Each structure stands twice: as C-alpha cells, then as structure tokens.
Structure 1
Amino acid sequence: MPEDITFNQPIIKYHNGAFIDQSDDIATEFPLTLYVNQQEFATIVCSPTNLEELVLGFLASEGVIFRRADIQNIHLDDSKGFCHITLNREIEQHYGQYTKRMISSCCGKSRQFYFVNDAATSKVSMTETKITAQEIFSMMDALQEQSTDFKQTGGLHNAAISDGKDFYIHRSDIGRHNALDKLFGYCIEKRIPIRDKVLIFSGRISSEILIKASKIGVGIILSKSAPTDLAIKLADDLNITAVGFIRNETFNIYSHPERVI
C-alpha cells in the first residue's frame, strides 16, 4: 500500500516562455476491494489513509451495518488492497438493490432518489442544533486551515464534523464520498453521537453528497461551493439545512434556514 496521501512527481513546468524541470506533489490513488462474508462487495478508489474508518463508514452508509458490533472481524490486507469483513449476520438486502434505479417514491420518502438503497438508508434529520453566522465562518475557516494536503496537491476533498464550535475530526480523500465515509467511520468507532453535529465540506453539495450527509445523520451541511437543484430538493424533504458559497463574509442558505440564527 502507498504510505502517503501524496507522492512527489518530476514534472516540466512552462512558465514565462521557458520550460523548467521541477517536482510536484500528486495525490495518491489506491483501490481497496471489500469482501463481505467472503463475497466481493465493492471496490473503493480512495486515498490510502484511515482505511478502516472508510470501510466502517461506507458499510454503514450502505445499510450493511448499523453499529461497530455488527462486524465480527475486519482484516485489511494493505499490500494487496483487500479488506475482508465478516459480519455477525447475513446481509439482509440483495446486492442488486444497491445500484437498482427507482422511478417512483420509496418508503414514503422523497421522490428525488435515484436508487432504491438510497431511499431505504437515508434519514430525515431530527436535529435541534442551531448555529450562528459567525460560527459558520469560523468552521469554514478552520476547515481551510486543516486542508494542508489539498494545498499541496489541489486534488483532494476535505470534510470535518463539528458541534458548531470545535472540530471532532477532519479527513481528506481523493473521493468526496470517501472523505465523508471516513468521518462516519470515525464516529462509529468512537461511538460519537452524530445527530447534533454539523458537516463542513470543501466541495459542491451534489445530491450524492446530500444523501451521504443524510445517511450519516447530520442536520446541517456547510460548503464553500454551490448546491445542485436536486440536492436542495432533497435537503427540503430530509429536513437538512444546506448552506453554500461560504466565503468573504457571505453565505447562502438554501433549505431550512431556521437553524441559522
């Protein structure tokens, strides 16, 4: 397994009419294949850090596990890029359901879901957390300060979990979903309640990111970038406050503004 989240690559840089021999820090890409109960389940292309957290968060967000105790054994084979997980039970859902597209509402939830499993595992937020405008700016500034790997490579997504004042954990990954799964996995491992927490994210709030936030269980998501229309519709339906374009002392609230005071 690659040891670092970045590696140093010789490059030729063109600058002011001249070619210059230099080196550049490049984000490392690592495929990790998961076997659940001896069956191949998924391959995650990720940054090679905090892999057990990534596995826990991914399996929880897919509805395969609900708590750490659902796993009897987890074995990471870093040298070959495999992770073998043995559960204390059989997987209840059929593998095909994870990517089966739906064309109507499911389980009484939003009609905006594309996949059956997303509708089954997403949660309507019940959080009563409220945050101030200044706390929003402070959390985004703190995420920017933590994002040293992004500053090196320009090729990583960054995310953090906060109680509105202090960070609990910050994670980076080449995959935006992976960064969130690592946070989720950390909270599962440490048994940290999530419902009252805030998710801070560096990238665009797409429908996939909003659904991932819902699966994690947070009620507020903050981003320095924009949301998509489908993400806003999902945020409305799932009772999630989505705040975007947090920069230069401004931000936009796209859904459930009552949590921002």
Structure 2
Amino acid sequence: MKKEVSEQRAITTYKQGELQETMDVIVAEAPLTIFVNGEEFATMVCSPDHIEEMVIGFLASEGIIFFYREIQNLDLDEEGGFAYVTLHKKASLSSETHSKRFIGSCCGKSRQFYFHNDAKMAKTAASTVSLSPEQCIALMNAMQEESTAFHDTGGVHNAALCTTDDLLLTRMDIGRHNALDKLYGHCLLHRWSVRDKILVFSGRMSSEVLTKAAKIGVSVVLSKSAPTSLAIDLAEDLNITAVGFIREDKLNVYSHHDRITAKGAYHV
C-alpha cells in the first residue's frame, strides 16, 4: 500500500485569545532504507512519494551509478520502507569513499571542499542560457503556486526544473536534498537533457544544494532564500549562476551575472 504524503491530526490551536479543538493537515515523514546488491547502503527520511525517482537520483548523486541503465532491478517495499537495488556491476559502498573529504590541487578554489563522490559527479556548467529578472520571479511564483503540499502543511521543500518561461517538472519533500534527488532521478529515468534547464528551489542555497545542482547539470539556480558563502564560491567555480532572495519584485544575483539580463539589453 502506498503511503500518503499528508494526514489529518486533531490539534489544539490558540487564536484570538481562545483555545480551540480542530483538525490540521500534517506532512508525512517516513524512513527508507536502501540496499544495493544485497548490502545496506543508506537510510533516509523522506516524503513518501516518487520514491523510485529519489532512489535513482540519490544513487547517482552518491556516484554509485552514472546512468539508469546500470540498474538491473529496483524493487520497492513502500509500506515497509525498503528499496532493493540490483546493479549490473559491483558497487563500492565504502564509507570512506562517500564521507572522506577530497583535497584537490585547484589553486585554492572551492573544489577542495568536495567529498570524493562530489568531485567525481559534479559538472561544470557550459550552457549560455539567459533570462530576465522578471522571468526569474515568474518561475519562482509558478513553483510556489503549484505546491499544494506546502499550502496544505507548510512543511515541505519544493524544487522544479524549468525552461526560461515554463515549469517542466516539480517535486516536493520534507528534505531539500530528497526533492532535488527526485528531479535528478526523473531526468535519468526518462533521459532528459538538462543542460539548458533552470533549477528553482524554495530553500536556502547551501554548498550541498549547489553541489546537487552541479551533479544534475543545470547552469542556473534560483532560490527563494539566502546562499552561503561556500555555495557562492562553488557557483563561481562551476560556472553556475546563483540567484537568491527571489521575493515579490526583488532578487540578488551572486555569481555569473551575465546570464541574468534586463530585457536582454545588457550583460553585467
């Protein structure tokens, strides 16, 4: 049986000086343990939807696979909270490979902060796609309007892949990384090209989020919230345009400003 992404719970609310009994919509949280070739690899908590995509995207993000075709079989026990993945190859699941810092000789640039699997999977953006501030704001508004789970519960992160004018795919999850992995998994599963696509994200733009974006392969990341200093360093290094604080009619461009143009009239 597939789990629901939200559920009704009885609560007590305080409003206008009074305590009242009412019902509220609460976001669901479920554990998922992933086994790869019979070996336990990771356990995460997530919103119980688009689990197949999340597993595929997570394995690719961790450097276990590069393409969906490397997966021989993927069985989901969504009620029990298990995913069983069989690959066509042996997989290195060493904790050292997936947790040890990679110190590279990059002339002091930010790539030295990657984990081993990040250094292997992150891509330097090569797209020349550009968009106006008005398009950035419109895409953020469109993603927010489409998120019924957020409107119902207020407890999820949202992410979307877009063209300069339209949403192509939206995913949500209680975990911001999970939402991005669901997008990544969908792209791998359906062989989508993302080079000229734009990533729109509801949460803070941390270095981990920026690295996820680089693994997916986008060249522009739009966020409703703030970036971190390391995220900006990574964006500069990876040729990614990072735009934050997209709210109402305002935004800030933090890296590779040339992709954000005012009515196409000039490049910063």
What TM bracket, shorter-length normalisation?
over 0.9
Partner of 1:123: 123
Percent identity for Structure 1 against Structure 2? 50
Distance 1:81 1:107 in 2: 41
TM normalised by structure 1 equals 0.95
Check if 1:105 corresponds to 2:104. Answer: yes
Distance 1:36 1:28 in 2: 25
- Residues 177-231 of structure 1: CA deviation (Å, up to 9, x unaligned): 0001101111111111011110000011011100110111101000111101110
CA displacement at 1:92 relative to structure 2: 4.5
Distance 1:111 1:68, change over 3 A: closer
Partner of 2:96: 96
Distance 1:67 1:83 in 2: 18
Letter in 2 for 1:129: V
Distance 1:219 1:44 in 2: 28
Letter in 2 for 1:59: L
CA displacement at 1:106 relative to structure 2: 6.1
Distance 1:106 1:93 in 2: 25
TM normalised by structure 2 equals 0.92
- Residues 113-155 of structure 1: CA deviation (Å, up to 9, x unaligned): 2522222221111112111222111101101111111111111
Partner of 1:18: 18
Distance 1:144 1:82 in 2: 31
CA displacement at 1:93 relative to structure 2: 6.3
CA displacement at 1:112 relative to structure 2: 4.8
- Residues 3-32 of structure 1: CA deviation (Å, up to 9, x unaligned): 211111110111222210011111100111
Partner of 2:43: 43
Gap regions ≥5 residues in structure 1: none
Partner of 1:185: 185
Letter in 2 for 1:152: D
Root mean square deviation of aligned Cα: 1.6
Q: After superposing the two structures, state which structure 1 stretch, 121-130 or 234-243, moved more.
A: 121-130
Distance 1:66 1:242 in 2: 25
Distance 1:106 1:51, change over 3 A: farther
Gap regions ≥5 residues in structure 2: 262-268
Contact 2:106/2:112 (CA < 8 Å) preserved in 1? no
Contact 2:31/2:46 (CA < 8 Å) preserved in 1? yes
Distance 2:49 2:81 in 1: 12
Distance 1:220 1:166 in 2: 14
